[in-house]
Structure 1
């Protein structure tokens, strides 16, 4: 995905964000993937990245445009400080599989889990 993004579409039930490029190319990123790869200082750790675990069921609650170059994503776990430039979203989409595998390996090495800490069931 190397052309400009023209549309973002969030599927609430599936928790998937579609990135649609000007050439029609469409890539999908899960809310969990976006949350654990947040560009925020909280996650990036000023050069010492923090492992974000227990986010399998996280959802995006708001997508706020920032100029013509980025969006701020807010998540239902209270995280809202990541500013996702369109270039960063495209980078995540193009490197999704190796990034995801590296994340899973880090979870395993830290004996951490994707599973939520508290299982909440909606009625």
Structure 2
């Protein structure tokens, strides 16, 4: 699931982790506020573990229904690096990537669910 991220030059004005609902809320300087489920962020991780090192090397992320974020590390003034409850911590989410994931959620999430189904995996409802 390689994402083509274009530069938006949008900057978050606030990032809040809602641990109970497992949602990362990101407010941007243009007034947009995106509520991104931890599972969604985890399956769209930009790390090489998931996207591979070239086209066609992507690894479908499965079984992430109950994953949460346990820590968020700032990466300079351009990104965050969350640590997920499944131990994954190598994805760097730039502001542009977070904006894309928020603004294209209604397209990207169903695309992921379709990929899961096509690969023969059944997503379980989070507990």
TM over 0.5: yes
Q: Does residue 1:60 correspond to 2:69, yes or no? A: yes
User: Any unmatched runs of 5+ in structure 1?
Assistant: none
C-alpha distance in 2 between matches for 1:22 and 1:103: 28
C-alpha distance in 1 between matches for 2:86 and 2:10: 32
C-alpha distance in 2 between matches for 1:24 and 1:106: 32
**TM-score normalised over the length of structure 1:** 0.88
Note the C-alpha offset of 1:3.
3.7
* Structure with greater contact order relative to length (CA < 8 Å, sep ≥ 6): 2
User: Any unmatched runs of 5+ in structure 2?
Assistant: 1-7
How many equivalent pairs are there?
118
User: C-alpha deviations, 1:70-115, integer Å up to 9, x for none?
Assistant: 0001000010000000111001111111111110011001111333
User: Pick from 47, 68, 73: which aligns with 2:82?
Assistant: 73
C-alpha distance in 1 between matches for 2:10 and 2:88: 29
User: C-alpha deviations, 1:37-58, integer Å up to 9, x for none?
Assistant: 0000001011211100111110
